[in-house]
A and B are shown apart, each in its own frame.
Chain A
Amino acid sequence: MNILTTPRMERCIGCHSCSLACARLVHKRLSWDTAGIRIRSSGGLSTGFEARLCLACDPAPCVMACPTGAYSQRKGGGVVVRKKLCIRCGACAKACPVDAIYLDATGEPFVCIHCGRCVPYCPHDCLEHTEFSRGAATAGKEPAAAGEVEP
């Protein structure tokens, strides 16, 4: 199964279009927080940007920490979320080693579900939704070139 990766974050301009798209399309919210991918500046704007998102662990520590089964292991890495089962204990966010899970003010967790709906909104092709095998070269795919350089 495909997962969302951020292979070209050096190109990020900090527009937050990815976060806003995730919140809008997946979570039906206007937000740059309640989103599976969130952009931070890495120590001030002059040093660029980094993305906080799920790295598609398998096995996923958040799944192991979830006491109700609201988070279960996703094939190919990451989690499948059943919101109905969530008791908002925050154990998933605590267990995540890369701070990928955002808890809103009510304790509701938000995490990337690797659907890839944010990808078309990135103007600089920082993101990819692709089959990912750890420790292997990218499968012959050129970094996206369309529209990036004007002839």
Chain B
Amino acid sequence: MIREFFKVLLVDLSAGRSTITDIEGRNTMAGGSGLAALLFEKYGIPDKPWNEPGQPLIFTIGPLTGYFPLMSKTVCAFKSPYHDQFAESHAGGRSALSMRFADYDAIVITGRAKTPSALIVGSRHIEIKDVHYLWGTDLYTAGKFLRRMLPGSGHRTILRIGPAGERQSPMACINADSYRHFGRLGAGAVMGSKNLKAVMIHGDSPFLLPEGKDYVTVFDKVYKDMTDTDMMSKYHNLGTPGNVRVMNDLKALPIRNLQATADPATEGITGERFAEVALLRNAACAGCPVGCIHIGFVRERFREENRYIYRQISYDHELIFAVGSMLGVMDCFEVLKLIDVAEKMGLDVMSPGVALAWATEALAKGIITEKETLVPLAFGNSASYLTALEHMAYGTNEFYQILSQGTAKAAEHYGGGDFACVLGQEMGGYATGEAFFVSQALGFRHSHLDSGGYSYDQKPKGKNIEDAVKFMIKDEKARVFLTSMVSCLFARGVYTDEVLGNCLKSVGYGTLADNMDKVAGEIQRLRWKLRVMTGYRPEDVPIPKRFTEITTWKGKIDEQFLTQLKEEYGRRIIGMATQDS
């Protein structure tokens, strides 16, 4: 519903009570990322650890959620178990529209439930339900029971955790509606620490549209741009896996723990290969006609006579890189099996994939032994990785307990930090060069989506520190405004400032539309302020030696440029965090 304030549901799991509060700030913090920061400032406890029961787990949507195509994402904010700092993670599925139609701009969950519980929310329903019998179940089993327990099929979201989240691993994700994830920085562990197996939101309330014809006209223009033009074709055709071949051709695909950046064997895991042999169908987040979700299948023969089971698994570039090229697994069906196990365990796929790549090299170098790894990790040996992923989720021995805290933690304990592919957190699938390495290492979410460092690397520009830093800060600001709306970042080509302004005006947010640049800057500043307040120091984030040893299509990495760029970007970030509003 269009309103000048934020309607926030506050749930206290310890007390078993909820309340609804109105919070001012629509015209300064917009929603999404901005609202999440505002709420963390209000309810977060910066000097207490991430698993302190009073810490908030925050879900927010934005002013345009549901009103326009691809305004289909939810922002999740929390103090991260990965680095104990303020963090954000984003997901789609049906989460955003369910929140819109449940009529909350944000849900803030504090406390710790007495028994494993599920939070059930609708526009006329709030319940904290004891589900102790689901604790310990994998993500698929939990999903089956939860779906049966709740009304609203198709018009609800089910956010749930698996064994990794229950064990409070910093690599645990929150799964959203089977195929999407609040993947990185350990949101799943935060749910685990709150004894919260699932959050279910039923979007069961309609709203009247704004008066006048503007809204419908602007909607149709945006919808046409999203569906009729070529702008979105890369997302619905091969989807993000189209990047595998592109990166390999650029010598920028991380392979075998970044020992290589190109290999003809990657032809077995390109987006083209997946589409040809493993793509079963597509799916979409609610409110998105593009439908970028690519669902593949694996079938397994479980008896000698022809008895098979099959499973459907969503795949993306980042997942294919993490448990494919990075582990030397170059067969798309083997990759899907690995994704499947990580999903089942409720692990983020990227971090454990990169961590196991480090472990494989560490084992080969004799830094660790099979006594630690329990299975003979070796690049290309997908069977051993299948087992290792379960060990990561369950923390079977001390080694896996440490490794599932993060590769850097394991390297600190065992050695081998030089080849830990960690940039703030386990790296993304783009070894494009200095700007990407710096932007992921220092970026707010330690994600390639924080700012387009990977795209800057691909531009034929000189090595100009000022130019690169300006680009990254400006790009981050634009992205922060989009994630405050909350748009899918794949739509950034369509949602120009002008289009966003028209959208906001057409639904009655004229003041916000007139101040977009100022609001974006203010949100960017507040996010960094909170991040620094919770312990962020750019100088504490190393870029390990491995990143300087690679060769891309541009040649060797320029170490001096890398170091200077990192220093300057870090200095600017701290400048933003400490400037007055």
Contact = CB atoms under 8 A, between A and B. Distances in A.
Interface of A: 13-17, 20, 23-25, 28-34, 38-41, 43-46, 48-49, 104-105, 121, 123-124, 150
Contacts of B177: 45
Contacts of B206: 23, 29-31, 33-34, 104
A13 B314 CA distance: 13
Nearest to A39: B154
Contacts of B287: 15-17, 20
B237 interface: yes
Interface stretch (B76-84, B278-286, B359-367): B278-286
Main secondary structure of the interface of B (DSSP, over half): loop
B124 A105 contact: yes
Interface in B239-283: 281-283
B209 A24 contact: yes
Contact of B69 (A17, A28, A33, A124): A17
Interface stretch (B288-296, B405-413, B523-531): B288-296
B312 interface: yes
A123 B67 contact: no
A150 to B, nearest CB: 6
A31 B208 CA distance: 9
Contacts of B283: 13-14, 45
Q: By CB atoms of chain B within 10 A, which of A23, A39, A40, A41 has the most?
A: A41
Q: By CB atoms of chain A within 10 A, which of B206, B207, B209, B227 has the most?
A: B206
B291 A16 contact: no
B101 A33 contact: yes
Contacts of B215: 24
A22 to B, nearest CB: 11
B205 interface: yes
Q: By CB atoms of chain B within 10 A, which of A14, A29, A30, A33 has the most?
A: A30
A44 B141 CA distance: 12
26 contacts: A13-B281, A13-B283, A13-B284, A14-B154, A14-B284, A15-B287, A16-B287, A17-B223, A23-B206, A24-B219, A28-B208, A29-B208, A30-B67, A30-B209, A31-B207, A32-B101, A33-B205, A38-B154, A40-B154, A43-B147, A45-B178, A46-B178, A105-B124, A121-B223, A123-B291, A124-B291
Contact of B153 (A20, A23, A24, A41): A41
A150 B232 CA distance: 13
Contacts of A20: 66, 287
B143 interface: yes
A25 B208 CA distance: 11
Nearest to A28: B209
B233 interface: yes
Nearest to A35: B206
Contacts of A29: 206-209
